Amino acid sequence: MLPVVTITLLAFAVRYVMLTDQSIWFDEAYSLDLASSAVGQMLTKIRAEDAHPPLFYLLLRGWMKLGGTGERWVRLLPAILGTAVVPLTYLLALRLFNRRTAAVAAMLVTLSPIQIITSQQVRMYAPLTLLTLLGTLLCWEALRSRRIGLWAAYAVTMAAAGYVHYFAGLVTAAHGLYVLVWERRGILPWIAGVAGAGILFAPWMPGLLAQVQSGVGTPLWRERGGAAVLVETLGLVTFGGHLLGARGYIRPGWLAAPYVLLPALPFLLAAWYGARRARAAGQGPQAALALCASVVPLGLAFAISLARPVFMARYFTFLVPPLAVIIARGIA
């Protein structure tokens, strides 16, 4: 218990210590302006102008009602949610593998530059990471125990994740692939869980359709698929980007893709070795779940982006925790 508490406290410290070093930038200011609106007006604006679902803005609105609009206060919300990702990563790795792997995975997430940055941004990426990670853990536990209550919790969690960011659907698809290939006895309960999530998400479907029809759902500033953006995303979710001209959270990269791949390569090799070690130890399903949760969403988004501009590297920060788990299995 002591290691995870210590690591979690460290995670909060590194997220909190520079919370206001950077001024509020455009996307954060947009979040604050939207969250300052009345609920009805906010939802109308989101349907007409925004590319995201409304839950984060509603959560931020409640947070601002509670403590005001000060820079440190509004950024404290994602800092808390981002910190909560760390013990949840520990728990997932513990349930899949062992304590040593769990401690290493939690430390990797604690010190991940992109995880720290998204935990300091008044945007939806920290809650997206938290909810999709919780969904992955619940999927594993529900498949093991076959308890209806866990599938109900899975449905609620994945619906909430969908209300935070549409890319949560990619994680749901990753879970589906895992169940189809490795846990076929659980396919019907998983389908029931997804159906429950769909029912919970249904009230927002008119809003989603309005965004798609108006074009705000696929804004032109998002990117299409290509080798360069794929490598840059791998850089962000492994070594964290920002290094020697590699792409950052906001800043476009100028470093050529092969040079971005070099610092990412040790992490990718550790993930490969972790999967190999797990399979040799009879932990193939555990490794498969971590790999599905960290690879499939990126692959699906890349495929979609070949036809429609949906790709933004920073959207994939939710891949860091499951990737950290399989990397930790390789180096622990």
Q: pLDDT by residue for the chain (332 residues), tens digit each?
A: 668 999 999 999 999 999 998 899 999 999 999 999 999 999 999 999 899 999 999 999 999 999 999 999 999 999 999 999 999 999 999 999 999 999 999 999 999 999 999 999 999 999 999 999 999 999 999 999 989 999 999 999 999 999 999 999 999 999 999 999 999 999 999 999 999 999 999 999 999 999 988 877 665 556 666 777 888 888 889 877 655 555 555 666 556 566 677 888 999 999 999 999 999 999 999 999 999 999 999 999 999 888 887 888 889 999 999 999 999 999 98
Residues 227/306, Cβ–Cβ less than 8 Å = no
pLDDT value at residue 98: 97
What is the predicted pLDDT for the residue at 138? 99
Measured between alpha carbons, how far is 162 from 198 in angstroms, rounded to an integer? Answer: 9
**Distance between CA atoms of 152 and 190, rounded to whole angstroms?**
10
* Three-state secondary structure of 210-266: HHHHHCCCCCCCCECCCHHHHHHHHHHHCCCCCCCCCCCCCCCCCCCHHHHHHHHHH
- pLDDT at position 252: 61
Domain boundaries, the chain: 2-216+223-331
User: What's this model's pTM, rounded to 2 decimal places?
Assistant: 0.95
Which pLDDT belongs to residue 232? 82
- In angstroms, the CA 69 to CA 74 distance is 6
Instruction: Identify the pLDDT of residue 159.
Output: 99
Q: What angle do CA 270, 79, 196 make, to 5 degrees?
A: 80
